[in-house]
Amino acid sequence: MKLRALFAAGAIALGLSGTTANAADIVPVIVPTAPPIVVPPPAPGFDWAGLYLGAYGGYNVSIPPGAAGVTAGFNIVRNRLLFGAEVRVGAFFPGEAPSGFDIHVEGLGRAGFLIGDRLLAYGAGGVGTVFCCGFTYWIAGGGLEVGLGERLSIFGEGRVFGPFSGGMGGPALMLRAGVNFHL
């Protein structure tokens, strides 16, 4: 019994003498944190405005069937609307000229709508002439152009053309594909 009394007295003494914990007695807990997430800025949209140079090739659903050439143009963009002018110099082949290539020049006006930042749907119209035979023609059509990277675009288009004067019967269809470099 003495042992019990001694133990009880010791426990009471310890309880009454109690000490309080200080802030310095608290062990800090280090919680690992993830590094901040850095979100890169969005890629800038394709810049359709200004001067561009390009090349094209295609097929005429009439005689002569082949066509290829170079393009130079200029676009103005307001909101999502595009307005521009373009000159194409190329050759129809095989042609009636002694060289087998009928050199032609076309002047076109374009109007289009930007779908997103990199897709352009456009319509075009204008006139052209074939030098070997004095043939002049009107052009009307449209196409899609896709901006790739920062300055390069590719396009596909369909156009109808018909005579103002000279050879050829009624209207015919031209299918073209090409690439433009925007300066």
**CA gap 155, 147 in Å, rounded:** 9
pLDDT in tens, 125-168: 999 998 887 788 899 999 999 999 889 999 999 999 888 865 55
pLDDT at position 20, please?
A: 57
Worst-scoring range by mean pLDDT, 59-68, 86-95, 103-112, 155-164? Answer: 59-68
pLDDT in tens, 7-43: 655 556 555 555 555 555 667 677 777 788 876 665 5
Tell me the H-state helices in the chain.
2-16
Select from 70, 99, 102, 68 the least CA-distant residue to 87.
70
Rg (CA), the chain: 38
Select from 7, 24, 4, 23 the least CA-distant residue to 15.
7
Assess whether the previous peptide bond of 64 is cis (omega < 30° from 0): yes
Domain ranges of the chain: 50-182
Phi, psi at 124, each rounded to 5°: -145, 150
Select from 153, 86, 77 the least CA-distant residue to 118.
153
Contacts of 112 (CB under 8 A, 6+ apart): 81, 82, 84, 120, 121, 122, 123, 145
CATH class of 50-182: mainly beta
Find the Cα–Cα–Cα–Cα dihedral 98, 101, 105, 108, rounded to 10°: 150
Residue 178 has pLDDT above 90, yes or no: yes
pLDDT at position 97, please?
A: 65
As given in the structure block, the two tokens for residue 53 are 């140079």
Worst-scoring range by mean pLDDT, 40-44, 49-53, 93-97, 117-121? Answer: 40-44
At 40 the three-state DSSP class reads coil
**CA gap 88, 72 in Å, rounded:** 7
Residue 49 has pLDDT above 90, yes or no: yes
* Mean pLDDT, rounded, of the chain: 84
Please compute, for residue 44, the number of CA atoms within 13 A of its CA located in the half-sphere on the CB side: 6
pLDDT category at 76 given cuts 50, 70, 90 is very high
C-alpha to C-alpha distances, 169 to 55, 95, 165, nearest whole angstrom: 28, 16, 10
